[in-house]
A and B are shown apart, each in its own frame.
Chain A
Amino acid sequence: MQRKVFQLLVDNTSGVLSRISGLFSRRGYNIDSITAGVTADPRFTRITIVTSGDDEILDQIEKQVAKLIDVRDIKELKPNQSVYRELAMIKVKASANERQGVIAVADIFRAKIIDVSPESLIIELTGNQDKIEAFINLLDGYEILELARTGIAGLGRGIENVTYLE
């Protein structure tokens, strides 16, 4: 089993996400995470999919996704030639006494406190998945009330592999 990050550029049509996720589910492919958002050109959406499988499955994923009519482009974002980021929001239970401890950990990770209430804090953290995992592990002594993660978004480095929109 191997993990791959694919970047897709798709037509911003209704149902495009369901066509893609439907393809994954009916052919039994894994989706570890999927993120989608409109590009600078509103006609297009960029989707980042993290998936896993053996070589043949990953090859089929790439070909079957490319075959979808709405998909303009699919490419692998190789770890050494790309940057990945994920955003996590973590709501931690913290009384006034505990608050400073949580803030100290958050500072080390350059996370932001985006909400404070008498008994909890919400922390916002951006980074690659390892960083987010490490941060969550560090919060071990605290009670995590709620956690929301966006899944990975990514881009290739440099200008060599840019798909230009006409």
Chain B
Amino acid sequence: MLGADAMVKCLEEEGVKYVFGYPGVAICPFYNSILNSPIDTILIRTEQNAAHAASGLARVTGQVGVCAVTSGPGATNIITGIATAFADSIPLVCITGQVNSALLGSDVFQEADITGAVESFVKYSYLVKDADDIPRIFKEAFYIANSGRKGPVLIDVPIDVQNTVISRFRYPGEVNMRTYKPTVKGHAVQIKKVVKELAKARRPIICAGGGVLLSDAEKELKAFAEKHRVPVVSTMMGIGVMPTKHPMYYGMVGNNGHPYANRAMNESDLLIMVGARVADRAVSQPDLITENKVLVHIDVDPAEIGKNVGPTIPLVGDAKHIIADFMEEEFTCAHEEWIKTLDTYRATMGRVRKPDPAYVDPAEFIRMLSESLNDDAVYVADVGQNQIWSCNYHIVKNGRFLTTGGMGTMGYSIPAAMGAKLADKDRQVVAVCGDGSFQMSMMEFATMRQFDIPVKVIVLKNNYLGMVREYQHYTYKDNYSVVDLSGSPDLEKLAGAYDMKFMRLATMEHAQETIDEFLADNRPVLLECIIDPMDLVK
């Protein structure tokens, strides 16, 4: 058995079904061994998208996403994808081929110090020097990636290590790491303190972040919010923790969020942040969430607590366990007045838009689309104005809403949607992007066609890098610089080139029929929506 065979065997032991990647000489032993395995390989068209696709798969399955690329440029190309997964705490194992270990450090062809380069974007990285270490390293890598605060782990394997004969393969049953033991259970004393505050509070609110979804705690959160009638708001990464129309859910907070959600959070007297980093986009003025209120901060990563804002009650642990512990406690809350107030805010503080009828109104279009989607559909939003409209107007039923809120990497939606679709081919998966973000990953149409991954793609086309144009509109008084997307391809011809169905919506007039036809069958479709180039999210 070769080191490369052992690598593949490890992936099988971990139950991996798909490896996203791009070969090169340095990873060829691995890609040769994987031919003898039931694991499917997906040839992505640029390495960054391998990490995004693995991220999409990881987010809907809860399992670690895996990608494998070659040394040098293959490895450096995947860095943005790894950094995206790191910022969004998505569990990945990224395997990179490396030049012969005897040549390491001598700047030979396609050598890059990838473990050094990704150091600040990974939870951990390995450079495998001895093929006998492969089983232990893979076991640890999968464990590290998908426990505690989740994130990407990189394994760099020199080609000679992949080609080394190993005497026997034994996959460890469990990890034995002296130095890594994430806290899962919350501290009992701290839990009691929170419960005591909940019983006292007149205006409690929970602000849920992506950590709730990562710990698979949506059910627990919903049950808790319903039982004690505690209102819930979410960060961008937390969208989908509760159905959008749930009476106890009051929308997304932050500088791109709903005004009523921010008001609800700021006026509370007890704010429970759970699985949220309290970063600048969600909480632009940290003093507003600490003034005149008790702040409870629950996070599995102790370093997040107190990093951006000092909480009254810190509580380290996994959201699922902690909310389950809250459920065990008996207490009563009396804050019906507060809920009435929030209902009034929600009813009266919505954004008023004045869309130009000559174009598709992205807000109304997204609302209609999401109403037409299946109950468990996966909606992947890209980055830009499209992302903000998606966050504000997409209605989550019981499906998932995926986007990169932490890193904000353009081009995320199409590869991530592909990963989500592969995870469950019966599920509706829609990627919504702008014409800028679309052009950052449109090469993946080839992957969709080659491997029959029928993702539905919507491009909100305005011929601008809209989010930057909007910023220049406000900040530089319409002095537009490098935001004009003239020269973009004819999307109809592009879809034709990939033998994909194409549809276009120019106004709202036939929106519903178009959406129905767009979603009708399980084929990849590209739908272009012409939107007002001067439209603003704010």
Contact = CB atoms under 8 A, between A and B. Distances in A.
A15 interface: yes
B101 to A, nearest CB: 12
A69 B119 contact: no
Interface string B103-139: 0000000000001100110011001000000000000
A138 to B, nearest CB: 43
Interface in B172-228: 177-180
Interface string B239-280: 000000000000000000000000000000000000000000
A63 B316 CA distance: 12
Contacts of A14: 127
B12 to A, nearest CB: 25
Contacts of A67: 149, 301-303
A63 B179 contact: no
B307 interface: yes
B125 to A, nearest CB: 8
Nearest to B153: A69
B179 A59 contact: no
A26 B306 CA distance: 19
A72 B181 CA distance: 9
B282 interface: no
B178 A72 contact: yes
Interface string B147-165: 0010000000000000000
Interface size range of chain A in the complex: 20 to 34
B123 A69 contact: yes
Contacts of B178: 11, 72, 166
A67 B182 CA distance: 9
Contacts of A11: 178-179
B144 A19 contact: no
Contacts of A19: 119
A69 B180 contact: yes
B303 A63 contact: yes
B303 A64 contact: yes
Given A69-B124, A69-B179, A18 B116 contact: yes
A59 B144 CA distance: 24
A56 interface: yes
Interface string A39-73: 00000000000000000100110011011011110
B307 A22 contact: no
Given A69-B124, A69-B144, A69-B179, A22 B119 contact: yes
A10 interface: yes
Interface string A62-94: 011011011110000000000000000000000
Given A63-B302, A66-B302, A67-B302, A10 B120 contact: no
Contacts of A60: 303, 306-307
Looking at B127, B144, B177, B180, the one whose CB has the most chain A CB atoms below 10 A away is B180
Interface string B287-305: 0000000000000011100
B179 A18 contact: no
A64 B178 CA distance: 18
Interface in A121-166: 166
A164 B434 CA distance: 57
A10 B127 CA distance: 18
Contact of B120 (A15, A26, A69, A70): A26
A-B pairs with the 3 shortest C-beta distances? A63-B303, A72-B179, A69-B124
13 contacts: A11-B178, A15-B115, A19-B119, A26-B120, A56-B310, A60-B303, A66-B302, A66-B303, A67-B303, A69-B124, A69-B144, A71-B179, A72-B178
